[in-house]
Amino acid sequence: MSDYATDKNPEVTMEEIVALAKRRGFVFPSSEIYGGLGSTYDYGHYGVLLKNNVKNEWWKSMLVERDDIVALDSAILQHPKVWEASGHLAGFTDPLVQCLGECKRRWREDHLREANVEKGGNYDDPIVCPECGGELSPPRNFNLMFETHMGPVADDGNAVYLRPETAQGIFINFKNVLNFARKKPPFGIAQVGKSFRNEITPGNFIFRTREFEQMEMEFFVPPAEAQQWWEKWVEIRHNWYLELGIRPDFLMIRPHEADELSHYSSGTSDVEYLFPIGWSELEGIANRGNFDLTQHQEHSGESMEFFDQASGERYIPHVIEPAAGADRATLAFLVDSYFEEEVEGRKRTVLQLHPRLAPVKVAVLPLFNKEGMPETAREINTALRKAGIQTEFDSGGSIGKRYRRQDEIGTPWGVTVDFDTKDDGQVTLRDRDSLEQIRVPIEGLPEMIAGKLAEPWQSPKLDQAP
């Protein structure tokens, strides 16, 4: 990949992804019948299945494939002191500027300056409103936390906040987990859940929204091991995306410059993906040192120390944090898998998703609605579902149209029941990517599909590349 600032994903636009997501019922703008609510989205059936698969793969990599991480599901509403201790109340801000000219729109000052640099200017050049050219107000720090009130009366004494990250729920439970999970550093606590940020400029579909899901893991380590664990986690998380089919050329690791680091971090590397909007963060892997546990120890009065009985050492563990976004990862998988080609003179749009991420694994399709075909297809459908394989039974319309529909939602295999099935006990298995069709016995079909789902997979686009 050539130029970081100007590169954009050349294969698909955000408009094409948004259109497909709406057309096929993955993601819709929220509250659409009331005109929508800025930057919140609702996930439809296939969107739920896809995002669940992303989250399941994340959980699997954290909890099943290793035994040094435990799970947590903490509350969204936490004691306001949590946010005082974490630094969010004072410092979780973005620089807000408002147009003083005609349009009165609000902007993030840093984003306007970065856009200026992309166009060849300097970061400190004077800036004006990109919408109407009006003068901009001086920047003021705008806190991104959503505030609400606990109980029936809204006053300053009962203000609480919707969590802006899942991480703090983990830190405040560090001692609980230490006591009950019988773990000692190095060990991790993983959590998936909603976070809320009153972003000044949300946008680019589900890339930056005000309500989103995070997949975060805090890995507690002896201080002397922090650097090596940080490097290890950068590699592990980079590989996770590669193993799920993101092509290496569209993924990179970008270490933060010193002036980009968050207040808590002594080192952060982002895993970035080449979205249609350019290279952008998918996930950050931070070395948070002992900042969070120390802060919570000071503000709560509870000791956050770990006593190592073997060495007699007492210390506050350091923390390595891989922090990913479930919606952003879902968007990256949609973008990376989107493929258009011409087959027999007609455009075919297909999501070449990793089969484990695909919302539906097998489409079960009776060729016609007669001669026992729907009944046999239903039996096959039930057998696959009983084996835990997500299927879709579709008997409506021409077989070509049904294949196209399944291609657009990324279904890796189609099983067609035809005239010969009742004589030979076989069905046609169609492969989404190669379009190859082979006859396979009905007997053992669930096991065959389960075997295919367990196989390593790589994007067919890698073979298509010049």
Q: Which is nearer to ligand GAP, 216 or 392 (CB)?
A: 216
Q: Which is nearer to ligand GAP, 55 or 328 (CB)?
A: 328
Q: Is 214 in the site for ligand GAP (CB under 6 A)?
A: yes
Specify whether the CB–CB gap between 121 and 114 falls below 8 A. no
Angstrom distance (rounded) from CA 434 to CA 339: 13
* Neighbour count for residue 92 (Cβ, 10 Å): 20
Q: Is 272 in the site for ligand GAP (CB under 6 A)?
A: no
Q: Is 327 in the site for ligand GAP (CB under 6 A)?
A: yes
Q: Is 225 in the site for ligand GAP (CB under 6 A)?
A: no
Q: Is 110 in the site for ligand GAP (CB under 6 A)?
A: no
Angstrom distance (rounded) from CA 293 to CA 299: 10
Q: Which is nearer to ligand GAP, 266 or 349 (CB)?
A: 266
Q: Residue 339 phi/psi, 5° resolution?
A: -145, 135
Label residue 305 exposed, middle or buried (CB < 10 Å: 0-12, 13-18, 19+).
Answer: middle
Q: Is 269 in the site for ligand GAP (CB under 6 A)?
A: no
Q: What is the greatest pairwise CA distance in the chain? A: 78
Specify whether the CB–CB gap between 316 and 342 falls below 8 A. no
Q: Residue 269 phi/psi, 5° resolution?
A: -125, 135
Q: Residue 255 phi/psi, 5° resolution?
A: -70, 140
- Report, in Å, the least distance between residue 14 CB and ligand GAP: 14
Q: Is 55 in the site for ligand GAP (CB under 6 A)?
A: no
Q: In the set 57, 94, 216, 272, which binds ligand GAP (CB under 6 A)?
A: 216
Q: Is 86 in the site for ligand GAP (CB under 6 A)?
A: no
Q: Is 325 in the site for ligand GAP (CB under 6 A)?
A: yes
Angstrom distance (rounded) from CA 74 to CA 163: 10
CB closest to ligand GAP, residue no = 325
Q: In the set 88, 163, 197, 430, which binds ligand GAP (CB under 6 A)?
A: 197
Q: In the set 24, 175, 208, 432, which binds ligand GAP (CB under 6 A)?
A: 208
Q: Which is nearer to ligand GAP, 250 or 413 (CB)?
A: 250
Q: In the set 167, 350, 384, 417, which binds ligand GAP (CB under 6 A)?
A: 167
Q: Which is nearer to ligand GAP, 199 or 433 (CB)?
A: 199
Q: Is 322 in the site for ligand GAP (CB under 6 A)?
A: no
Concatenated DSSP letters of 243-289: HTT--GGGEEEEEPPGGG--TT-SEEEEEEEEETTEEEEEEEEEEEE
Please enumerate in sequence order all residues whose Cβ is within 8 A of that of 312, keeping only pairs 6 or more positions apart, or say none.
Answer: none
Specify whether the CB–CB gap between 218 and 265 falls below 8 A. no
Q: In the set 57, 94, 109, 165, which binds ligand GAP (CB under 6 A)?
A: 165
Q: Is 212 in the site for ligand GAP (CB under 6 A)?
A: yes
Instruction: Name the site residues for ligand GAP (rule: CB under 6 A).
Output: 165, 167, 197, 199, 208-209, 212, 214, 216, 281-284, 321, 323-325, 327-328
